[in-house]
Amino acid sequence: MPRASALCQADVFMPTVDVLELRKVFKVPVRETGLRNSLRSLFRREHRMVHAVRGVSFSLEPGEIVGFLGPNGAGKTTTLKMLSGLLYPDGGEAHVLGFRPERREAEFLRRVALIMGNRNSLQWDLPVADSLELRRAIYEVDRVDFEVRKAAYTEMLDVGELLTKPVRNLSLGERMKVEILASLVPHPQVLFLDEPTIGLDITMQKRIREFVATYAADTGASVLLTSHYMADVTALAERVIVIHHGNILFDGNLAGLSDRFTAHKTIVVAVAGELGPLAHLGRVVEQNSFKAILEVSRDEIATVAARLLADYSVTDLSIEDPPIEDVIEQAFAIGEAQEAEEAGEAHP
Amino acid sequence: MNGIRLAIMHWKVGAMHEVQYRVNFFLQLIDSVIRLATGLIAIWLVFSHTDDLAGWSRHELLVVMGIHILLSGINRTFVEPNVFQFIYTIGEGEFDYVLARPVDSQLLVSVRNLRFWQLVDVVVGVVVIGWAVSGIVETTSLPEVLAFLVAVSCGAVILYCMWMVVAAAAFKWIRVDDTVQLLNGLFQAGRWPVTIYPGWLRLTLTFVVPLAFAITVPAESLASKLSGGMLVLTVIVTGVMLLITRVAWQRGVRNYSGASA
């Protein structure tokens, strides 16, 4: 039956995460400084509404790893918590694996995982293996599956020696690795990673990245990842969503991000012989007699490159996007400016 | 996942953890003995002046005290450690992980901890009740024992509900440790049958903080003072308390805003 098969296909390609106009407002008490004000607030407390998420929409496909970027307080964690069923949204709708997260059905909670860096969800005083066993029981993971996955992940994360130690005796990096191990043993199909590598050294960061990438590739799980380490994002995600003050500024691939937010590219050129003055071609970032770095506007890249090739005997020439950190910084700055402009229009 | 299995699993872990700290056992024993002694002295003082306190004989008052110790033991073994851990996790933002688990959050919060050595109080309570009952002149009938078992179970549930309702306030006010201490203070009033208190206090201890149903009613069942109607009412009050606790919990979870917000 063609109709049925078409439906099946539609099902396969259904997004795992589908978010429409999601909102969250927090009521925060206003605390003023000083004893007198503190005493006054005992009787009359003032509140302020903080719009943490102001209507974000996006969707994730199965197997997709997406970087979720934004400065502190942009609404990343709030969004992740709403999608994992921890916070009740104040507006909009989210579907994760076809479930409404805020209903917190057991089946939904079994199939998603939220991992937060620098936080501990394991039993502090128990050996890691006991915590894993507890997790297995709560998530109703089949015994055989559990042992197989535990063995495989233990090896991949190199945590074999840690399983018999109490969690409180582990270092930050070790704790994060067993945290990830425990969260993935139930085989979640959607992973929300909130700063999973925060505070970890480079080797540990790399190991965790590799593990996440392998897990997503093997299981087809969707991953939404926030991180302040751009290396995490560039290594794992092709697509990024940039959020600022609760609004989505950008949703697309990483290359598109720099196209959108920076008007420049960088040309690095090396020549045999002597370089003349280059200021007329673009902004000179660095120059010595045989090598230069130029910042050139995107429209003129081809022309400038051709000029350089024609004028000098070029030994090496590369055209690069600006470093991703700079692009992100630029994106946040533009977001800030846009907002100021809108606020200005609202209150002339 | 089955709630009883979940509880047993956590209690096993909790017991394993507690047994390591044997010194707690002796401290708990000393604590229980001191409280038993002060209780006995108070009863002795009262009955050195009179033979009857608002219709309660010496042995009947001992039953009340025994039930008070028993329920206090159950509460401090199973309920209070969980309530304090919950309040702590709310403040620290670790409650996120309770909500993330595919089991009922109220159930999980209620069974995560066990203060094993506090069970000493449960044993002491049972001994005191047995001793007191043997001293009551009229023999206790089987239906009275059954009524007692029902009533004392209801009592334990009512206390759980009282503590959990206060705990659920932590969703809104975060720091409610002091309120739990207040509850402990009120609980001390249950050492005596509520019928000895003046009207306003009796009403408060019956309908606002239902200690009358939790402690006095089970004692009345053993002292042949309980009517069938009162027992039914106790069961109904227990049901209502469970319902109130559930609603308070669910509203709390819905308004939960996390620690980082």
Domain boundaries, chain B: 3-255
What pLDDT does A4 receive? 41
Phi, psi of A29 (to 5 degrees): -65, 140
pLDDT at B261 (0 to 100):
39
Domain spans of chain A, in order of start: 14-256, 263-320
Q: CA-to-CA distance for A266 and A253, rounded, in angstroms?
A: 20
Residue A11 has pLDDT above 60, yes or no: no
**Considering chain A, what is the average pLDDT of its residues?**
88
Looking at chain A, the whole-number percentage of residues with pLDDT higher than 90 is 55
Determine if residue A117 is left, alpha or beta; phi over 0 gives left, psi from -120 to 50 gives alpha, anything else beta: beta
Calpha distance A210→A190 (Å, rounded) = 17
Residue in chain B nearest A110 by alpha carbon: B102
pLDDT tens-digit map of A60-76? 999 999 999 988 888 99
User: Which among B38, B14, B24, B216 has a CA at the least distance from the CA of B120?
Assistant: B24
Whole-number mean pLDDT of chain B?
88
Lowest-pLDDT range of A186-190, B51-55, B92-96, B206-210: B51-55
Sequence-distant (6+) residues with CB within 8 A of B83 are B163, B164, B166, B167, B180
A189 burial level (CB within 10 Å; 0-12, 13-18, 19+): middle
* B261 contacts: CB under 8 Å, gap ≥ 6: A26, A28, A50, A52, A78
Flag the least confident range among A249-253, A341-345, B28-32, B149-153: A341-345
* A141 interfacial to chain B (CB closer than 8 Å): no
A-B contacts at Cβ under 8 angstroms: 66
- The reported pLDDT for the residue numbered B192 is 87
Report the alpha-carbon distance of residue B35 to residue A192 in Å, rounded. 51
pLDDT in tens, B133-167: 888 767 778 888 899 999 999 999 999 999 999 99
> Over the stretch B97-129, which tens digit does the pLDDT of each residue have?
999 999 999 999 999 888 888 888 899 999 999
Average pLDDT over residues A101-129: 90
In the three-class reduction of DSSP (H, G, I as helix; E, B as strand; rest coil), residue A289 is classed as coil
Report pLDDT for B91.
84
- How far, in Å, CA of A284 to CA of A282, rounded? 6
Q: How far apart are CA A215 and CA B194, in angstroms?
A: 62
Q: For residue A228, what is the DSSP state?
A: S
Which residues in chain A are closer than 8 Å to B93, comparing Cβ atoms?
Answer: 119
CA distance A81 to B257: 10
Q: Provide the pLDDT for residue B84.
A: 92
* Interface contact flag, B255 A88, Cβ < 8 Å: yes
The b/e string for A98-122 (b: 16+ C-beta within 10 A; e otherwise) is ebebbebeeebbbbbbbbbbebbbb
> Residue A168 CB: number of other CB atoms within 10 A?
12
Is A92:A19 a contact under the CB 8 Å cutoff? yes
Contact map slice: A 6-45 vs B, CB within 8 A: 26, 28
Query: Quick one: pLDDT at residue A81?
Result: 94
Minimal Cα–Cα distance from B4 to chain A, Å? 12
Q: What letter would DSSP give residue A32?
A: -
Residue of B nearest to A101 (CA): B100
A110 touches chain B (CB under 8 A): yes
Q: What is the pLDDT of residues A217-228, one digit of tens each?
A: 999 999 999 988
Distance from CA of A133 to the nearest CA of B (A): 10
CATH class of A14-256: alpha beta
Q: What is the average per-residue pLDDT within A6-14?
A: 51
Where residue B174 falls (left for φ over 0; alpha for ψ -120 to 50; beta otherwise) is: left
Closest C-alpha to A227, from A211, A244, A205: A205
Q: How far is CA B156 from the centre of its chain?
A: 5
Q: How confident is the model at residue A9 (pLDDT cuts 50, 70, 90)?
A: very low
For the ranges A229-233, A271-275, B74-78, B225-229, the one whose mean pLDDT is highest: B74-78
**pLDDT tens digit string along A128-173?**
998 999 899 999 999 999 999 999 999 999 999 999 999 999 998 8
Per DSSP, the residues of A237-269 read -SEEEEEETTEEEEEEEHHHHHHHH-SEEEEEE
Mean pLDDT, rounded, for A290-310: 91
Q: What are phi and psi of A287, to 5 degrees?
A: -155, 135
Mean pLDDT of B209-237: 90
User: pLDDT class for A347, splitting at 50, 70, 90?
Assistant: low
Query: With 80 as the cut, is the pLDDT of residue A199 above it?
Result: yes
φ and ψ at residue A314, rounded to 5 degrees? -75, 130
Burial class (CB in 10 A: 0-12, 13-18, 19+), A93: middle
Residue type, A34: G
What's the average model confidence in pLDDT over A182-199?
A: 93
* d(C-alpha A157, C-alpha A35), whole Å: 50
> Within an 8 Å CB–CB cutoff, is residue A106 touching chain B?
yes
Chain A nearest CA to B244, separation (Å):
20
Which amino acid, A181? L
B103·A26 Cβ contact <8 A: no
* β partners of residue A284: A294
Answer yes or no: do B13 and A26 touch at CB < 8 A. Answer: no
Q: Is the ipTM of this complex over 0.85?
A: no
DSSP β-ladder status, A112-116 and A91-96: unpaired
Question: If DSSP states are collapsed to H, E and C, what string results for chain B?
Answer: CCHHHHHHHHHHHHHHHHHCCHHHHHHHHHHHHHHHHHHHHHHHHHHCCCCCECCECHHHHHHHHHHHHHHHHHHHHHHHHHHHHHHHHHHHCCHHHHHHCCCCHHHHHHHCCCCHHHHHHHHHHHHHHHHHHHHCCCCCCHHHHHHHHHHHHHHHHHHHHHHHHHHHCHHHHCCCHHHHHHHHHHHHHHHCCHHHCCHHHHHHHHHHCCHHHHHHHHHHHHCCCCCHHHHHHHHHHHHHHHHHHHHHHHHHHHHCCCCCC
**Percent of chain A topping pLDDT 70:** 95
**Average of per-residue pLDDT across A43-69:** 90
Q: What is the pLDDT of residue A150?
A: 95
Is it the case that residue A185 has pLDDT exceeding 90? yes
State the Cα–Cα distance between residues A66 and A253, nearest whole angstrom: 9
The CA-atom distances, in angstroms, between B32 and each of A323, B35, B39 are 68, 5, 10
What pLDDT shows up at residue A3? 42
The structure tokens listed for A41 are 């607030």
* Alpha-carbon distance A226 to nearest alpha carbon in chain B (angstroms): 15
Give the pairing of strands A222-226 and A239-244: unpaired
| Per-residue pLDDT at A12 | 53
Structure tokens at A148: 């197989």
Instruction: Decide: helix, strand or coil at residue A177.
Output: helix
* Rounded distance between C-alpha atoms, residue A300 and residue A313, angstroms: 20
Phi, psi of A119, rounded to the nearest 5 degrees: -125, 155
Distance CA(A277)–CA(A312), nearest Å, equals: 12
**Across the interface, which of B10, B99, B260 has its CB nearest the CB of A77?**
B260
Q: Is the pLDDT of residue A348 over 70?
A: no
What CATH code is assigned to A263-320?
3.30.70
Tokens of B228: 């069938």
**What is the residue type of A55?**
G
- Greatest CA separation for chain B: 63
Domains A14-256 and A263-320 belong to one CATH topology: no
CB nearest B261 (choices: A78, A107, A119): A78
